[in-house]
A and B are shown apart, each in its own frame.
Chain A
Amino acid sequence: MPAYVVRRLLVSVLILLGVSFITFVLLYVLPADPVRQIAGRSATAETVENIRRELGLDRPFIVQYGRYLLGLVQGDLGRSYLQKTEVAELIASRLPATLLLMLGAILAELALGLTLGILAALRRGTMLDQTLMMASFVTVSAPQFVVGLLLLYVFAVKLGWFPIGGYGTFAHLVLPALTLGILGSGWYSRMMRSSMIEVLRADFIRTARAKGLTRARVILVHALPNAVLPVIAMIGIDIGIFMGGIVVVESVFGWPGIGQLAWQAIQRVDIPIIMGVTLVSALAIILGNLLADLVAPFIDPRIKLK
């Protein structure tokens, strides 16, 4: 097990290196000049060249990338081209908000997804089952921008239950977490349904029923713990899915996380920020997957880590 973790971490470093290289190449070949974004419209040709030289962007690609890596291994993500602030500081100031949003989203998707999945499994083949499964299709496919604005309009503007965007209290968290959670709940309800159906067919459930246990007891004590474990193991993978979603959701709700930071940086070709956010996101996804893999053997002893 420790050897497995060490090996996985080493591979993770290689993956991060690969991500940094690919992102750097993509930003390098992008037909948009970061210097021009900094220099603005009134800059003379000399000003543009001065800025290019000051930032070292006149150097060959390999030198630029080498410098970036050199900083990276020392924990230096560089300074934003436009804001001049340390990228590490920008990310650190926004990471707590993103983590909080993810936590909220995971709780929301589990609460929604598991409940609906169990209901559908127990009422398999009925109108309720079909309606729920249809709904899961819709939520998985619905654009988050639309879902977010819809929730905002109904629950914040019309009903006044929640604040209209922003950050700070639990009430601020509900709608953005729900927007992300609704997307994930579609997956979870489907997985929970099939997992539950499978378990309900198992011999030990028949035995439990034959013993004369109540239906509620059979479902809650015998079936549910067995059915829910494989589903829970998926949470680690969710982090990757959410990384895409937060960009949109954070923009709609004015949530000061790294998704919003990334989006604004992309608009302005602020390369150090784009690199920093990409690497931090990649790290989150790697750790999430690692976590999912490490938890798996505890849930299902048939899985062995090698």
Chain B
Amino acid sequence: MKKLLVSTALMLSLALPALAQDYSPDPNAKPGGSIIVTYKDDVATLDPAIGYDWQNWSMIKSLFDGLMDYVPGTTTLRPGLAESHDVSADGLVYTFKLRPGVKFHNGRELTAEDVKYSLDRVTNPATQSPGAGFFASIAGFENAGDGGLSGVEVVDPQTVRITLTRPDATFLHVMALNFSFVVPKEVVEAEGADFGKKPVGTGAFKLTEWTLGQRLVFEKNPDYWVAGVPYLDSFTVEVGQEPVVALLRLQNGEVDLPGDGIPPAKFQEVMADPAQAERVVQGGQLHTGYVTMNVTQPPFDKVEVRRAVNMAINKDRVVQIINGRAVPANQPLPPSMPGYTQDYAGYAYDVEGAKKLLADAGYPDGFETELFVMNTDPNPRIAQAIQQDLAAIGIKAAIQSLAQANVIEAGGAGTAPMIWSGGMAWIADFPDPSNFYGPILGCAGAAEGGWNWSKYCNEALDAKAVEADSMFDPAKSGDRLKLWSDIYMGVMEDAPWAPVFNEERYTMRSERMGGEDALYVDPVSIPVNYDYVWVKE
């Protein structure tokens, strides 16, 4: 097993895209071959404005392109459909120059009109895009509708100008996000709601077959604008496959990639067999698992109580429960995210210290509360471990084990005193520290129904977040990351969460799959970068 150390590469992620080192392909990589990938859940849709799943995220990346892109296997931005861009001095006007000669799968050439149409479409309420909010900094977003965004203008067929209402340091990441991907107007209008089943993009692969509930076949786009890409002639996705069954089929040579990874129940068995363990790929992911505490209600309205909970949880033991497939966390950001505070010690595991804090807060005998958890393994077991740790300092937490949708509902409504985030935890949409703040720790997310389940709202930190995100100048990216680091340290001071661990991803590939490990645990093309993996023989 090879362990990937991607954090150093990640630190470069805010560098100027033009300066970013591009991808150097494996010299052994060769074109040809087909592979089989499995998933448990059906693929819901391949419409880039709608799709927001584990399964379809990187399929959409293979079918479509955005103005910006990432170097494969990394979080480093690089030019995509826009071969270059420049930013006005005030950071409000972005001008993108499109790459000439890019064609949609239907043969038509892409123009600036398509870019405008796609951004208008994703922000139009009628589209019901879950990602519409990412585009809030574009001028005209407030009035987005059938009229389109006033801030997106077609200068000429090869040039798009986007005007923002405020400087937005994350804007180029947003232009690399699936929701911004470019779709051809005539096809979208012809297919209507069925566009998600019959997608047409500019991407490395085109969809040639979709048998509902069974399989999807993606074939190489021979006219793809990146020379030599993709390597595979095709890949077939088989859905409805339980992870355990997918692993058995992989061991039997029938499957090349289990899209859902190695099931926890089989993990030790796989790792104990050197032949199999050798094909396991491990990678960090931009994920943090945490316990939220509702700061608006007693007893968690007292910061001492929240700090006590932070000190009471034995994180090493929780990590053991999931067979060591994680590293203990001490802050909201995962270690591979830019802005992570390296020298922060966090709240050490200290039962006596926690008891003392509880006593200081007026709860010398502890109290009773509820811990909500999603009801799929291993989350209830993790909740039990946390329950025992809390009992040791006198907190009697009853476990409420519910379906995912019900936990999310309780969290949004503010009726859950504590929630273990497992199964619903934050995985970054794009590799930038701001993505871990707004919806889950900021005041906006604390509103009814938001994902800030602690209902934590610190206006001073919110102001700092706005300041950080206005620092669009790449030359200031170091200062910006420092500011974000300070914000998360401020969060830990208030302790609305007890961060518990950062999950590592473990997946496996068949003997014949080639390409560097990072492609199989790609931090952006989640879970696999289909465009760059290849077959050995």
Q: Is B131 in contact with chain A by the CB < 8 A criterion?
A: yes
Is the Cβ of A252 less than 8 Å from the Cβ of B245?
Answer: yes
Q: Is A40 in contact with chain B by the CB < 8 A criterion?
A: yes
Contacts of A82 in B (CB 8 A): 44-45
Is the Cβ of A42 less than 8 Å from the Cβ of B240?
Answer: no
Q: Which of A87-95, A122-130, A201-209, A291-299 contacts B (4 or more CB under 8 A)?
A: A87-95
The verdict on A47 contacting B403 (CB below 8 Å), with A84-B45, A94-B212, A164-B252 known, is: no
Q: Is A165 in contact with chain B by the CB < 8 A criterion?
A: yes
With CB as the reference atom, state the residue of chain A lying closest to B251: A157
Q: How far is the CA of A83 from the CA of B405 in the complex (A)?
A: 17
Per the 8 Å Cβ criterion, residues 250-305 of A in contact with B are 250-257, 260-261, 264, 267-269
Contact with A along B340-358 (1 / 0, CB 8 A): 0000000000000000000
With CB as the reference atom, state the residue of chain B lying closest to A167: B214
Is the Cβ of A269 less than 8 Å from the Cβ of B131?
Answer: no
The verdict on A84 contacting B47 (CB below 8 Å), with A41-B426, A164-B245, A260-B213 known, is: yes
Contact with A along B416-452 (1 / 0, CB 8 A): 0000000000100100000000011000100101110
Contacts of A50 in B (CB 8 A): 125, 128, 132
Q: How far is the CA of A85 from the CA of B213 in the complex (A)?
A: 12
The verdict on A31 contacting B245 (CB below 8 Å), with A50-B128, A82-B45, A256-B240 known, is: no
Contact with B along A92-115 (1 / 0, CB 8 A): 011001000000000000000000
Interface centre among B130, B136, B242, B451 (most CB of A within 10 A): B130
Contacts of B245 in A (CB 8 A): 152, 164-165, 252-254
| Contacts A/B (CB < 8 Å), 14 sampled | A33-B408, A36-B412, A37-B405, A43-B132, A83-B44, A83-B45, A85-B197, A90-B212, A167-B214, A256-B214, A256-B239, A257-B213, A260-B42, A261-B42
Q: How far is the CA of A164 from the CA of B244 in the complex (A)?
A: 11
Per the 8 Å Cβ criterion, residues 4-41 of B in contact with A are 41
- For residue A292, give the distance in angstroms from its CB to the closest CB of chain B: 30
Interface residues on A, range: 35 or more
Is the Cβ of B131 less than 8 Å from the Cβ of A42?
Answer: yes
Q: How far is the CA of A3 from the CA of B125 in the complex (A)?
A: 53
Q: Which of B47, B212, B449 touches A33 (beta carbons < 8 Å)?
A: B449
Is the Cβ of B125 less than 8 Å from the Cβ of A260?
Answer: no
Interface residues on B, range: 35 or more
Contacts of A245 in B (CB 8 A): none
- Residue numbers of A with Cβ under 8 A of B are 30-33, 36-48, 50-51, 53-55, 79-80, 82-85, 89-90, 93-94, 97, 149, 152-153, 156-157, 164-167, 250-257, 260-261, 264, 267-269
Contacts of A46 in B (CB 8 A): 132-133
Q: Is B285 in contact with chain A by the CB < 8 A criterion?
A: no
The verdict on A255 contacting B405 (CB below 8 Å), with A84-B50, A94-B212 known, is: no
Is the Cβ of B133 less than 8 Å from the Cβ of A44?
Answer: yes
- For residue A199, give the distance in angstroms from its CB to the closest CB of chain B: 44
With CB as the reference atom, state the residue of chain A lying closest to B240: A254
Q: Which of B136, B242, B409 touches A32 (beta carbons < 8 Å)?
A: B409
Q: Is B248 in contact with chain A by the CB < 8 A criterion?
A: yes
Contacts of B134 in A (CB 8 A): 42
Is the Cβ of B449 less than 8 Å from the Cβ of A44?
Answer: no
Given contacts A38-B130, A83-B44, A167-B214, 18 further A-B contacts (CB under 8 A): A30-B406, A31-B406, A32-B406, A33-B449, A41-B426, A43-B130, A44-B132, A44-B133, A47-B133, A83-B45, A90-B212, A94-B213, A97-B213, A157-B251, A251-B240, A252-B242, A254-B240, A256-B214
The verdict on A264 contacting B252 (CB below 8 Å), with A36-B409, A50-B125, A165-B241 known, is: no
Interface centre among B197, B211, B405, B450 (most CB of A within 10 A): B405
The verdict on A269 contacting B405 (CB below 8 Å), with A42-B131, A45-B449, A254-B241 known, is: yes
Is the Cβ of B132 less than 8 Å from the Cβ of A47?
Answer: yes
Q: How far is the CA of A143 from the CA of B129 in the complex (A)?
A: 41
The verdict on A93 contacting B248 (CB below 8 Å), with A32-B406, A38-B128, A50-B125 known, is: no
Q: How far is the CA of A157 from the CA of B253 in the complex (A)?
A: 11
With CB as the reference atom, state the residue of chain A lying closest to B424: A41
Q: Which of A93, A255, A268 touches B240 (beta carbons < 8 Å)?
A: A255
